[in-house]
Amino acid sequence: MRGEGWFFARHDRAEAEQVRFNSLDDFIREGSTALAKGPVALILAEDDTELAGTIRHARTAGFATIILFAPDVFDLPDDIAALVVRVTYSLVEDGAGLRAVNAVNDAAPAGTWLHYCFNAEYLFFPFCETRTVGEMLAFHAEERRAAMLTYVIDIYAPDLDRNPDAVSVAEAHLDRAGYYALARPDPENQGHPRERQLDFFGGLRWRFEEHVPEKRRKIDRISLFRSRPGLRLRDNFTFSDEELNTYACPWHNNLTACVCSFRTAKALKRNPGSRYDIPTFRWHNSVPFDWHSRQLLDLGLMEPGQWF
């Protein structure tokens, strides 16, 4: 990962007192200023694991605004807290994350680029070490794209005795192989494949699929999109507008990105049904994660398209 010196050299350390809202409704009603400039990152905190690291990574990527949806009991260091607009919010109820993302979509000025992720997740895109997310999205928009396909790449601690929650930034590993795609059937067209849409699989959800509900095994997620009134994110991380769910435009390949995520590893080790069945996540295709976009490009896990 990039050092803090690089981070603070590029982004002035915020000194202002943190902006807070007591609820999602309060934010939607009074928080329009926070949505005035994009791209905007929405961080959905399911717990406090790697919360500061997730925020720092989003800031380093170049997001103009970071909105944190989290319970008040999740503490942050003062310097990290000053980087976010904080909304008191719980993700305990099913669908809470979807409701937050859809509410922000409706409240944001049309055409604002939004990114959503959970804590302990990190967006990587081609050449992100030298280019900002805003630069990437400006190019993507020039190609008449209003959303970007991302692949959720599982990262995990190699030693679960030392890291029983499966989270280790310093020693994170990922799978270098085992990813595949299947045609996505269109139920409105007699089950024929949808044009330029695929269901992608791999990582821990594939290797330990017996512990993962079938509808949760996909690793594709449309996690970057332009806001539009009435647009709806669905519970399988696709949108109500099917064109936004495509991996490329009709004439050439487009950019794709990765969300490197400890989320599945955490869940598998916290779930009583799988906790004791998994002594390690390591296998012969495990490799250390370099925290660099070049590794993800070399493994074929994301696509630079026409952006060089």
pLDDT for 17 equals 66
Query: Is the pTM above the cut of 0.75?
Result: yes
DSSP string, 8-70: HHHSPPP-SPPEEESSHHHHHHH-GGGGSSS-EEEEE-SSSTTHHHHHHHHHHHT-SEEEEEE
Q: Which residues is 20 bridged to in the sheet?
A: 86
Buried b (16+ CB within 10 A) or exposed e, 193-219: ebebbbbbbbbbbbbbeebbeeeebbb
pLDDT for 144 equals 94
Q: Closest Cα partner for 183 from 198, 167, 161? A: 198
pLDDT for 188 equals 84
pLDDT for 4 equals 36
pLDDT for 28 equals 96
Q: Which two tokens stand for residue 271?
A: 């779930």
- φ, ψ for residue 307, nearest 5 deg: -90, 115
- Asked if 104 and 42 count as a contact pair (C-beta separation under 8 A), the reply is yes
pLDDT for 2 equals 38
pLDDT for 153 equals 98
- φ, ψ for residue 225, nearest 5 deg: -155, 160
- Alpha carbon distance 104, 33 (integer Å): 12
β-bridge pairing 19-21 and 85-88: parallel
pLDDT for 161 equals 95
Measured between alpha carbons, how far is residue 295 from residues 59, 257, 299 in Å?
Answer: 21, 12, 6
- Alpha carbon distance 188, 192 (integer Å): 9
pLDDT for 251 equals 86
pLDDT for 171 equals 98
**Per-residue tens of pLDDT for the chain, all 308 residues:** 433 333 333 344 444 567 899 999 999 999 999 999 999 999 999 999 999 999 999 999 999 999 999 999 999 999 999 999 999 999 999 999 999 999 999 999 999 999 999 999 999 999 999 999 999 999 999 999 999 999 999 999 999 999 999 999 999 999 999 999 999 999 888 879 999 999 999 999 999 999 999 999 999 999 999 999 999 999 999 999 999 999 999 888 899 999 999 999 999 999 998 999 999 999 999 999 999 999 999 999 999 999 97
